[in-house]
Amino acid sequence: MKKVLALFLCAMLMLGSVSALAESSDKVHLEFFNIKPEVVDILNTLIDKFEAENPDIDVEQTQVPDSTTVLQTRAATNKLPEMLTYYATDPRYQEMAKNGMLLDLTDKDVFSTIDEGMLKDTLYEGKSYILPISMNAAGVFYNNKKIFEENGIEVPTTYEELIAVCEKLKAAGITPFVMHNMDWQASTVWSMAALNCVDDYETVNSAIYNGEATVTDYPGFEESAKEFLELNSYAQEDTMGTNYDQALDAFANGEAAMIIQGIWIVPSVKALNPDFEFSSFPLPAKTGNHMRIGYQNDLGLCISSTCANPEAALKFLQFMAREDNAQYYADMDGSASYIKGVVSAVEETKPILSCFDSADNIGLWPDQMWVTGTVDYVTSACQQLLIDEDVPAFLDTLQSLFAAQ
């Protein structure tokens, strides 16, 4: 009898294993390649929720160092993941759409929670290949309690006031800015200055590209180069030896009063120092210039044209575009949302995001108007400007880069 019972139990265990294996093999597996390292945990929480609602679909998030380069390599070898994140206004996304690597979402039921007018900047030749979820912007983040309040400093509203703040901080033995010019921040800070200094940058950029004008025709380019140098003069000594992670750590731990960065840094700064109290303000323009902050699509979701299970991938996109899930993402990330009814509750980014109340106060990031690869050359030019402080040479380099497109 014991032998029969043992055989029965063994058979049941084997049957259970076979059943579990069958259940696993029935699942649809989707690789989700994410190029934004700062939102991995946020997306994992949403993925867990999606899988609970859709037990027949398994979503595996991939995030690797230098993810944009890795993704481009996979695109070049025709090995794109089933789903991926990208930036809708980025020339590299448009290149993938042009080459037929992304699924056309135009007639798919994924845009019902987005105002049609918001999709204009995300289209490629009139069609949708990406579901935009959030927008990013950049400004100045500052240590509002320990440094600003203790030193009686008010938030500046003009560029002149910002320089006065830097002088006051410097006199008190406090480093005004932490900069990370080892990498892409060099071109980011210059681009922010350019939006403030070059009136109607989009039109000017187009005129230079089309050979109708030159960089030196617009004094704002020279002014932006000088602002870039001046802002960096109030940073720590070795800005060229500081990278993104080191700069965030320095800011979060009070080693500098301010950092010029995007709203995407909020989760990372809070993770580095949960007790740190900080806020933000838009990078102000000089008196007589109009202040504009740069923006671009941030989190955008694509499905590759080679995806074996597009219906399952579309379910995930519909899930991400749902108001409750978009609200969670905005609250965790601090970003502006494309989804109707969603407003971020993150206090640290509200002063920057308030600029979205008026179209006159925002402008597309300059690098979103440049062809693929130009931003790397502009970054190198900005780094060279920091080394030799040769503004005319910098302007010549910009002209050669933009006119060559």
Name the residue ranges covered by the structural domains of the chain: 29-133+298-321, 137-295+351-403
DSSP run (H or E) holding 29: strand 28-33
- pLDDT of 25 reads 61
C-alpha neighbours within 13 Å on the C-beta side of residue 127: 14
CB 198 within 8 A of CB 204: yes
Contact 369, 205 (CB under 8 A): yes
Using CA atoms, how far apart are residues 93 and 211, in angstroms rounded to an integer? 26
Residues of the chain with pLDDT under 70: 1-25, 372, 404-405
Cα 271 from Cα 38, distance rounded (Å): 10
Residue 110: the pLDDT is 95
E strands of 74-154, at which residues?
A: 83-86, 131-132, 134-142
From CA 364, how far away is CA 215, in angstroms rounded? Answer: 19
What pLDDT was estimated at residue 404?
Answer: 59
Which residue type does 253 have? N
Domains 29-133+298-321 and 137-295+351-403 fall in the same CATH topology: yes
Cβ–Cβ < 8 Å for 237, 111: no
**Exposed, middle or buried: residue 12 (CB in 10 Å: 0-12, 13-18, 19+)?**
exposed
Enumerate residues 6+ apart whose C-beta is below 8 A from 316: 30, 32, 50, 57, 59, 83, 301
**Please, which residues have CB within 8 angstroms of residue 50's CB and are 6 or more apart in sequence?**
57, 59, 316, 319
Alpha carbons 7 and 364: distance in angstroms, whole number: 70
Q: Amino acid identity, residue 197?
A: C
Q: Which residues neighbour 356 within 8 Å (Cβ) at sequence distance 6 or greater? A: 135, 137, 295, 336, 362
User: What per-residue confidence (pLDDT) applies to 58?
Assistant: 98
Contact residues for 93 (Cβ-Cβ < 8 A; gap 6+):
86, 87, 124, 129, 130, 300, 302
Q: CATH number for 137-295+351-403: choose from 3.40.190.10, 3.40.390.10, 1.10.390.10, 3.40.50.720.
A: 3.40.190.10
DSSP tag of 322: S
Helix axis angle for 374-388 and 391-403, nearest 10°, is 170
57-62 β-sheet, strand order: 57-62, 28-33, 83-86, 300-303, 131-132
CA distance 32 to 303: 9
Query: In terms of residues, how long is the chain?
Result: 405
Instruction: Give CA–CA dist 137/353, Å, rounded.
Output: 7
Return d(Cα 405, Cα 157) in angstroms, integer: 36
Residues 6+ apart with CB under 8 A from 244: 180, 183, 184, 185
C-alpha distance across the termini of the chain, in Å: 84
How far apart (Å, rounded) are the C-alpha atoms in residues 168 and 131?
45
Encoded tokens for 191: 């681009």
Query: 14 burial class (0-12, 13-18, 19+ CB within 10 angstroms)?
Result: exposed
In sequence order, the β-bridge partners of residue 61 are 32
CATH architecture of 29-133+298-321: 3-Layer(aba) Sandwich (3.40)
Joined together, the tokens standing for residue 258 give 């301010």
| pLDDT at site 376 | 87
- Buried-exposed string 39-51: b where 16+ CB fall within 10 A, e elsewhere: beebbeebbeebe
pLDDT value of position 178? 98
* Beta carbons of 209 and 277 less than 8 angstroms apart: no
